[in-house]
A and B are shown apart, each in its own frame.
Chain A
């Protein structure tokens, strides 16, 4: 029982911090947009971790679906005169459809083979975005679109100029997505994913059609990653081909591992550390990535369960 109470207390702290972030982040030297960026990256990393930490499959190509979300959104607003929500819908549908098809081709692969093929498929989308200049903007990225006010019928959300409103707009999507993932992981279906992670052979001989369940997990994961991608497009009013590239996939993995991939909130913590470090270090030096890399190596060497793994061990002992 005390274990449950501690978990609940931690949940409450997390939500309280997220709900009040725009009101204290400035005092700490941050800014509201940084908070929105943390949420977007945390959503992507949590979605990746649904597959990595809870199904045991390492995807090195999640940036592809993240990028498809961003480009789907950007192109809908830019070329089809879509709104913010319709753009997001297109981004998510495009990313999820691509994931559904590619998933069917790769879910029978395991370990390094799975990781390599996810990179390969990811790079295909990167090169399309990179090469198809007149539609995607090529190397310069897709600019010339802007997030638009969201009409809820009874009220209109001004997410365009008001960064705080935009933060809460992102937080709403983050909260719903994270709640759905947490709830799925506690369901009978979620337990079959844990079973596959723990021991695939045992899972198979308990009658679980392993490949089908991995495909579903992959699909759920990519769905939320493309949602994060669409929000990323809104955040920057821009879709960047590098958001599709394999090193972006690596960033999601770093976030999940940094925070702790066996903890549900691990990717959020990892994303927050990564985004803040990046913001701070990149203003000091061009070589900020080497400092993050060093930090990552230290964590992996000494705390293989990530930042939250350290805390959990303290609580347990």
Chain B
């Protein structure tokens, strides 16, 4: 059974059809890239999946259940986590606290006024594990707002991972990054995909990253789906070349 099944969703803002009749299915463990020129409706499409917006029409199923109208927090509890195009972290809290909050959420401790020693130990262990993965163990008490852009990005991705999601949505994870940072984030994403067997959908502008990571690629243009296929198929697709890749090559 597909993990995520999106059935002809539309989203209109007034007379603008930002997303027009787009369908997509994502299998467990798949890494799917969504590409397209600016204004193609990629982020709106993402917002429909994560619950930031609800579609004007169409249907979204996650793990066999209809989630079309669910609140974002309920989607998180079912296993969908996301990051944002502009990094969204808790800037005046430490790296450790930034990770601790979603870890406690994932353990169901959100409303707890205290933790037993045992629960506290489990939370600490999990936070330590995430710090280890992110390579930020040595700087766990630094405020996230003081970290470099790439490190803030890493923290944001690890916050999503802390929720133990089954589907991770990454909105332009390498936006605004230098080569080294892009390389580090790409490696982190591939590690999460390979080792954690996580299904990932990512929007990305950097074609090196897309062709390096993706199992399948969906191309959007002007709110509709232009093409869908393996990286090899997409690279060979003339329509895509004309609409999108061609412009880059030229």
Contact = CB atoms under 8 A, between A and B. Distances in A.
A183 B114 CA distance: 8
Interface in B88-114: 88-93, 97, 100-102, 104-106, 109-114
A205 B114 CA distance: 23
Interface residues of B, number: 32
B159 interface: yes
A213 B111 CA distance: 8
Contact of A199 (B81, B89, B102): B89
Interface in A199-216: 199, 201-210, 213, 216
A205 B72 contact: yes
Q: How large is the interface on A (under 10, 10 to 19, 20 to 34, 35 or more residues)?
A: 20 to 34
B113 A206 contact: no
Given A191-B97, A191-B100, A184 B113 contact: yes
Given A194-B90, A205-B50, A207-B77, A189 B113 contact: yes
A208 B112 contact: no
A184 B115 CA distance: 11
Given A204-B72, A207-B77, A208-B105, A189 B110 contact: yes
B90 A199 contact: yes
A198 B92 contact: yes
B88 A187 contact: no
A188 interface: yes
Contacts of A189: 110-113
Nearest to A195: B101
A204 B70 CA distance: 13
B196 interface: no
Given A183-B113, A202-B88, A191 B73 contact: no
Contact of A192 (B89, B91, B101, B115): B101
Interface in A166-186: 183-184
B211 interface: no
Nearest to A204: B72
Contacts of A208: 73, 101, 105, 110
A206 B114 contact: no
A202 B90 contact: yes
B5 interface: no
B153 interface: no
B100 A207 contact: no
Contacts of A199: 88-91
A105 B60 CA distance: 31
A188 B89 contact: no
B90 A188 contact: no
A188 B112 contact: yes
A183 B82 CA distance: 31
Residue among A192, A194, A199, A201 with the most chain B CB within 10 A?
A: A199
Nearest to B105: A207
B73 A204 contact: yes
Contact of B104 (A191, A205, A209): A191
Given A202-B90, A205-B82, A188 B109 contact: yes
Interface in B47-93: 50, 52, 71-73, 76-77, 81-82, 84, 88-93
B163 interface: yes
Nearest to A210: B73
Contacts of B50: 205
A252 B89 CA distance: 30
Contacts of A191: 97, 100-101, 104
Given A205-B50, A207-B77, A198 B90 contact: yes
A206 B102 contact: yes
Contacts of A213: 110
Given A198-B90, A205-B72, A188 B77 contact: no
Contacts of A201: 84, 88
Nearest to B162: A206
Contacts of A204: 72-73
Given A194-B90, A201-B88, A205-B72, A187 B101 contact: no
Contacts of A188: 104, 109-112, 115
B111 A206 contact: no
Nearest to A200: B88
Interface of A: 183-184, 187-189, 191-192, 194-195, 198-199, 201-210, 213, 216
Task: Report, nearest first, the 3 A-B pairs whose CB atoms are least far apart.
Answer: A207-B76, A198-B90, A202-B88
Given A189-B112, A207-B73, A208-B73, 7 more contacts: A183-B113, A191-B100, A192-B105, A199-B91, A203-B101, A204-B73, A206-B105
19 contacts: A187-B115, A191-B97, A192-B104, A194-B93, A198-B89, A198-B93, A199-B90, A202-B90, A202-B159, A203-B101, A204-B73, A205-B50, A205-B76, A206-B81, A206-B101, A206-B105, A209-B73, A213-B110, A216-B111
